[in-house]
Structure 1
Amino acid sequence: MSETFDQLPAGPETVPAPPPAKHGWLNFAIDFGPLLIFFITYKFTSGGEGAFAATAGAIKGTLAFMVAIVIAMAVSKWKLGKISPMLWMSGILVLGFGALTVWFHDERFIVMKPTIIYAGFAALLLGGWFFKKPMLKYLLQSALEGVTEKGWLALSRNWGLFFAALGIANHVMYELIQAGEMSFDLWLTIKVWGVTALSFLFTLTQLPVMMKNGLAVSESEAK
């Protein structure tokens, strides 16, 4: 999952998530900074013609991303005093799939990873919702004050469906890349800018749900 929650990593692998009430800019940097570093590194190192140049850029971008996600986790622990479960999961998958990408020199591992992450979060959130367990609340360790259990269940269901949709969309793009009908560059651009923008828009649609279910708003925010 950058909403009004805790850090949710993003990346070819970090997960879009709502920004928390406190340290919003820092959570945003932790969530999306590593992905932006991957994008910039890839763009500046994949010049030249042929598939080899693009693959070399992807490898360098992956290495930069792996370093950036470790730094993001360290900063989260240092400045926020914790590493959210979402960030832990994203970090582990980034390092795992990143290592496979570097070892096999295969961009497919980069494109596959978001599908697995989105599917995992969708299953966790929707499974929790089915069994009346608001998993989003525990995963994000959110500072959203006043949100009721009913509200957290609704948010878990909605974000579960959102992640499921992202997973399906990413898998479709993976198949298009495999069929030669879509480029890695286009996929990366959609991943960095499209999914990020979509996450913000989806977060806005969830604000009424949070307000309806007890979200506490300070006087300064209410004005």
Structure 2
Amino acid sequence: MKFLFDIFPVILFFISFKLGERNLEFAQSLVDQYLSGLISGGKPTADLAPILLATAIAIIGSVLQFGYLVIRRKKIDALLWISFVVIVGFGSATIYFHSETFIKWKPTVIYWCYAVAFLFAQFLFKKNLLRATMGTQITLPDDVWSKLSLAWIAYFFVMGIVNLYVAFSFPTTTWVSFKLYSIAALPVFIVVQGLFLSKYMEEPT
């Protein structure tokens, strides 16, 4: 359930883009009615309407998601803060400059921010973020924690590169689909990670 909550803005983005793509005139009318005052130049071309509409809805979804956590006084971790700031910042730039370039860079910026956070924590502050999160649940040798952290750094870095490749080598509709389906890469990575860790976990007595 938490996983679905975390990707809520991405799901909204995907659905609204696909609907807007299939109903260009309706998407254009919504953009003209609700976003024209926020767009430099006033009126973008019709082909940009789906991505602008989807971006605006994703921003609203992210704000609602964040507001829910604040109202419920839930803990907001650093990674969620990064996601929120990036989606609002790059999403707003996408709408204002009516350019899909900004929103296409958004996943890569998030991935690389995560990678830098893990990298700095490990090598600058001598703190393993995974160990800080999971250390009470499993016991692993120090070198294994380090390898695990490096694996996550590599994962985020590679995913950032892959996103840029798909975003600027294929049509926008392909990238939007990739953006949603690439979420499945994380559970797969976690499963592979679990298989690697299984030999280090203590057997129950």
TM-score (norm 2): 0.77
Distance apart, 1:109 and its partner CA: 0.6
Aligned pair 1:87/2:80, yes or no?
yes
Q: Which residue in the other structure is 1:197 paired with?
A: 184
Task: Report % sequence identity.
Answer: 28
SS of the equivalent of 1:83 reads: coil
Distance change >3 Å, CA 83–CA 158, structure 1 → 2: same
Matched AA of 2:152: W
Distance apart, 1:188 and its partner CA: 0.9
Distance change >3 Å, CA 80–CA 54, structure 1 → 2: farther
Matched AA of 1:48: L
Q: Which residue in the other structure is 1:108 paired with?
A: 101
Distance apart, 1:135 and its partner CA: 2.8
Distance change >3 Å, CA 71–CA 48, structure 1 → 2: closer
Matched AA of 1:168: I
Higher relative contact order (CA 8 A, sep 6+): 1
SS of the equivalent of 1:81 reads: coil
Distance apart, 1:216 and its partner CA: 10
Q: Greater share of helix residues, 1 or 2?
A: 2
Q: Which residue in the other structure is 2:160 paired with?
A: 167
Distance 2:79 2:148 in 1: 16
SS of the equivalent of 2:106 reads: helix
2:24·2:49 contact (CA, 8 Å) conserved in 1?
no
Aligned positions of 1:92-171 closer than 5 A = 92-131=85-124, 132-137=126-131, 141=133, 145-148=137-140, 150=142, 151-171=144-164
Distance 1:203 1:112 in 2: 24
Q: Which consecutive unaligned segments of at least 5 residues does structure 1 have?
A: 1-24, 177-181, 218-223
Distance 1:65 1:127 in 2: 30
Q: Which residue in the other structure is 2:24 paired with?
A: 48
Distance apart, 1:196 and its partner CA: 1.1
Alignment size in residue pairs: 184
Distance apart, 1:84 and its partner CA: 1.1
Larger radius of gyration: 2
Distance 1:155 1:62 in 2: 34
Aligned pair 1:73/2:48, yes or no?
no
TM-score (norm 1): 0.71
Distance 1:40 1:147 in 2: 41
Distance 1:69 1:137 in 2: 28
Report which stretch shifted further, 107-116 or 126-135: 126-135
Distance apart, 1:78 and its partner CA: 4.8
Distance apart, 1:125 and its partner CA: 1.7
Q: Which consecutive unaligned segments of at least 5 residues does structure 2 have?
A: 26-43
Report which stretch shifted further, 82-91 or 203-212: 203-212
Matched AA of 2:160: G
